[in-house]
Chains A and B, each alone.
Chain A
Amino acid sequence: MARAVSTRRKAIVTVIAWGIGLAIFFPILWTILTSFKTEADAIASPPKFLFFDWTFENYVTVQERSDYFRHFWNSVVMSVGSTVLALIIAIPAAWSMAFIPGRWTKDVLMWMLSTKMMPAVGVLVPMYLMFRDLGLLDTVSGLVIILTLINLPIVVWMLYTYFKEIPGEILEAARMDGANLRSEIIYVLTPMAVPGIASTMLLNIILAWNEAFWTLNLTAAKAAPLTAFIASYSSPEGLFYAKLSAASTMAIAPILIMGWFSQKQLVRGLTFGAVK
């Protein structure tokens, strides 16, 4: 009897979980389906779910009109570049905060997080002027710098949380064995925190890939990433939903595939501590 109740409960939980999962995934699914519709089918009322004239026309149009691979490459460089740079800065910062906390460590952490609370548009003009004067407008290196800066608080916070769970005694033992600071971080701390660093890295790549405010405002023709590629398919006058969906599908596909293959690592890093 107890077993039957348990099985039923499991079934209910499974159905609910699937329902939630599908609800979360539905906008992406709908975007993918719309990308295979004609513009007329894309706006049909009632909406057409699966039974419509499937077409690749939108993908052909998008390929003809835009240089997808240039945008894709810019997205890859800015996401990976900003993530690597952020980790190089954040690992020592998180180490010092986790293992030798000072009187103001908590305040510094809160202050870092508070920079994320300001609307980006509030600093658009000063940032734009700085980028103009430094010759960084419409450059991928400029995007790497800005994305590093805006994601750094989250990276430091995440790493700090993981590092806090590593017993300080292990690092002390390493020190007693003669490890200097550099060796301690590279050969002891980093390998132990690999799941945490990996999930931080993956999350940062996703955040950088999807960032749309700075990447749109600080680029023009040369450094424009996939966010600009998507934005070019929205039209004030004229139907564009199917073409926009094709552009969106092409833009999210790489990060979706990366997320799919790395989900085990991502989930593990996000749900478990460093040494559990």
Chain B
Amino acid sequence: MTKTVRALMGACAIGAFSTAAFAETTITVATVNNGDMIRMQGLMDDFNTKNPDIKVEWVTLEENTLRQKVTTDIATKGGQFDVLTIGTYEVPIWGKQGWLVSLNDLPASYDVDDLLPAIRGGLTVDGELYASPFYGESSMVMYRKDLMEKAGLTMPDAPTWDDIKAAAAAMTDKAGEIYGICLRGKAGWGENMAFLTAMSNSYGAKWFDMDWKPQFDSEAWKATLTDYLDLMNNYGPPGASNNGFNENLALFQTGKCGMWIDATVAASFVTGKDSTVADKVGFALAPDKGLGKRGNWLWAWSLGIPAGSQKVDAAKKFVEWATSKEYLALVASKEGWANVPPGTRASLYANPEYQKVPFAKMTLDSINSADPQHPTVDPVPYVGVQFVAIPEFQGIGTAVGQQFSAALAGTTSLEDALKNAQDLTTREMTKAGYIK
């Protein structure tokens, strides 16, 4: 064998080995368009360096489109996605169906015990962790310190609904286009019903009793809706029945709201560069009614792996990286502590640097005060704070939301809205077989 032939064979062998060593696995990650997720896409160099054999492709979509699409894909085992961004609502339902891969075998270095118990509990079914939280959120009161001062009031750290009403009345100046309170009014299970369900928990109301019978005919729901409509009609902005998170964010940022009760993630926006009131914002826990439950919710955008994925190992490496302590440190080093995805790990809140972020403590306290396993004053057969973790809830929740939004718009009465909500929920739950 000549030297040339040997050299050629050697080169071929090296080439073959190199090809094998760099055989790429491509995973497709489906995600919503929010600041933390977009930031992660900009920090992918770190993941690529650590995992040169894994290539990540992104599919970023609007929340409802994404939900419809990944639900279709996972239910039909379409296998289009290897990692899904899913919420606390989907995880228990999909986990029970066997649609998600268990993440109980993540390595010890991942430190699963560091995950905040409330968040971890919402992502666990029968002891199996089915998704890792990327960021978690609750809801809290964001208020204008300057307007409170002007009104001669002080916002307690843990206000009651009466405190909120008094503050809203004192801050409202409709002639000056300042509205005491801004709340969600747009119909939808994740819009006004997220707020109203959480609020109703603090009033002692619930969606269903232990026999799955709807409870909209209860006094507690009547009190909830009465106070909500009273607050919004007297101290809320005009056209509030069309307002969701982004509309209220715009109102608050332009100085038109005295208070806004919404997702803790809003804190970074209202104190950010686009806000005209950035240095005037205070934070407080969501209100209560003295019954032991606060009107705050619990949500986590989490990363799960569909059971139909053919690339589970690579997908797990990505999930582990994106939800690790090291990733939080990476974001802090590149973008500052205020931009670290909040609400997932206890170690983040123990970090002295993160404690300097103005809304860090209130976010943690809000998350810790929510209990998805026991969301209501009385026992209920479901889990979920601002939703009921059953597949039928999306449809029912939105239909009930339309009734309550109509009551806010003034096109139906409070009594009719509650009666219609009771009737439609009873009908759907009977049809679905919950009520025998």
Q: Render B68-95 as a binary contact track against A, CB cut-off 8 A, 1 for contact.
A: 1100110111111100000000000000
- Which residues of A (222-242) have their CB < 8 Å from a CB of B? 222, 224, 228, 231-240
Given the complex, which residues of B lie within 8 Å of A65, measured CB to CB? 38, 41
Query: Are A137 and B59 also in contact (CB < 8 A) when A220-B30, A232-B33 are?
Result: no
Closest A residue to B87 using CB positions: A236
Neighbour of B62 across the interface among A128, A222, A231, CB < 8 A: A231
Neighbour of A238 across the interface among B62, B79, B246, CB < 8 A: B246
Q: Which stretch in B4-12, B249-257, B331-339, B419-427 binds the other chain? A: B249-257
Check: A40 CB closer than 8 A to any chain B CB: yes
Check: A39 CB closer than 8 A to any chain B CB: yes
Q: Count the A residues whose beta carbon is within 8 Å of the partner chain — how many?
A: 31
Bound state CA distance, A125 and B33, in angstroms? 25
Interface pair A232/B274, CB less than 8 Å apart: no
Q: How far is the CB of A227 from chain B (nearest CB, A)?
A: 10
Interface pair A132/B78, CB less than 8 Å apart: yes
Interface pair A237/B34, CB less than 8 Å apart: yes
Bound state CA distance, A125 and B28, in angstroms? 21
Check: A216 CB closer than 8 A to any chain B CB: yes
Closest A residue to B64 using CB positions: A236
Number of A-B contacts (CB under 8 A): 93
Interface pair B245/A236, CB less than 8 Å apart: yes
Interface pair B34/A132, CB less than 8 Å apart: no
Neighbour of A235 across the interface among B34, B79, B190, CB < 8 A: B34
Interface pair B57/A221, CB less than 8 Å apart: yes
Interface pair B72/A125, CB less than 8 Å apart: yes
Q: How far is the CB of B148 from chain A (nearest CB, A)?
A: 23
Q: Count the B residues whose beta carbon is within 8 Å of the partner chain — how many?
A: 41
- Which residues of B (270-300) have their CB < 8 Å from a CB of A? 274, 276
Interface pair B269/A238, CB less than 8 Å apart: yes
Query: Are A231 and B78 also in contact (CB < 8 A) when A40-B274, A124-B72, A216-B69 are?
Result: no
Check: A43 CB closer than 8 A to any chain B CB: yes
Closest B residue to A233 using CB positions: B33
Closest B residue to A217 using CB positions: B69
- Which residues of A (105-160) have their CB < 8 Å from a CB of B? 124-125, 128-129, 132, 137-138
Given the complex, which residues of B lie within 8 Å of A228, measured CB to CB? 59, 61
Q: Render A12-44 as a binary contact track against B, CB cut-off 8 A, 1 for contact.
A: 000000000000000000000000001110011
Interface pair B254/A129, CB less than 8 Å apart: no
Interface pair A231/B72, CB less than 8 Å apart: no
Interface pair A238/B34, CB less than 8 Å apart: yes
Interface pair B254/A138, CB less than 8 Å apart: no
Given pairs A132-B77, A236-B62, A236-B63, 9 additional interface contacts (CB within 8 A): A44-B254, A232-B60, A232-B62, A236-B32, A236-B190, A236-B246, A238-B249, A239-B269, A239-B274
Contact sample, A vs B, 16 pairs, CB 8 Å cutoff = A40-B274, A45-B250, A125-B75, A125-B76, A132-B78, A216-B69, A220-B28, A221-B57, A228-B59, A232-B33, A233-B33, A234-B62, A235-B246, A236-B62, A237-B245, A239-B250
